[in-house]
Structure 1
Amino acid sequence: MGAHRRGGRASLRAVAGFACNQGFVFSLFYMGANRAFGEGILSFERADLFGTLLFMIASFGLLRVASSKARGALLARPLLWCYAVLLVVGSIVPALAGNPAPASLALESALVGLPAGLMLAAWGRALGGQPLARALPAVFVGSAVGATACFAMATVPVEGAAFLLKLLPLGSAWALQALVCAGSQPDRGGRDAGGGVAEAGA
């Protein structure tokens, strides 16, 4: 009974945490400012989003070529809060700075894209070590909840309501740390329940 209750709490935490992650990513993709370079027909629309996606891909490539030890260090629990803070700061600063210079925009894209990619990889690693019955709802239900939160914030007639979406990485890091911590604890049979997580990151 106790194990079932703990499993239910872990499933709910995984859904809520992944919803925070996806809600933030969706807000970047679909609710960001249209910051362009150039004018008229030669303007490059959504240059900020393009740069963010490039740095996310770069983070995935970095994890791909890194050794298992380096990959584990990049996705370690203490760094998750660092990534979350970088995501919050990187998403708030552009909203306050207005239209930046190209060099500044590249820096902002790196500030958001790199930690966003690493955070998403950390979620993939953690959920990959979970039972399928827990991982699937976290992915699909969490993504649906995240999208619904974006829609709700976009339609709320209160100025600054969408600003709350920029704080979602903090909830994502909290849930992910708890999930990784629970997965690393051995069960009653002595088997390490986090073995699947470690294998997923190898």
Structure 2
Amino acid sequence: MFHRDLPLVKDALKPRFRTALLKGRSNYLCQYRLEVNGQHPPFDDKEFLHDMSEVRKWSSQTDSGDLGELTTIEEGSRAIPFVTSNVENCLSKDCPKIGECHVMTARKDALEADLVVVNHHLFFADMALKDTGFGELIPDVDVIIFDEAHQIPDIASEYFGEHFSSRQVFELCKDIQAEYAANLRDLQQLNKAAINLEKIFSICD
């Protein structure tokens, strides 16, 4: 819609308005997590290390940080969760790479735009965040238009329900181990706990 349909409309009507495409944070490269997990890879197999290398090369070329641009690794690569952030592991204003944050840049562009294109997941993530009182992802708007609206009930239930997965725990364990290796050498007991928990969940899977 953003790259094909909207440009046709703008060209036909010649409207004077700014547009922006805004995705969820997991679609953007996190420079800090790339640095930490690049220095201390959570896996040492060739495929994972190759994908991390490809991400690192691309990171010096991209302006947007949108992983949709990265075509040299598979969409489901194991490296993706370790070079992106989510609500649980984002350091926000405390991040040492905040000045290079692609998510912050994308949100700034959205705030300055007259028309913003987002997907259903981001829309409801924004609603859920506003409910907590901790801010917002999408700027206030006058009109909302839904495409493929039949998906809304299922997607809304993801954000206003509760769920838990072993993958989330596994990724948390890997994050703790990377932080320990990079910055928290005095918290050896925490690192051991993360290793033991990872082993337990590996057996359960």
Higher relative contact order by CA 8 Å / sep ≥ 6: 1 or 2?
A: 1
**Coarse TM-score class (shorter-chain normalised):** under 0.3
TM-score for the superposition, normalised by structure 1: 0.23
Whichever of the two has the greater Rg, that structure is 2
TM-score for the superposition, normalised by structure 2: 0.22
Determine which structure has the larger helix proportion and give its number.
1
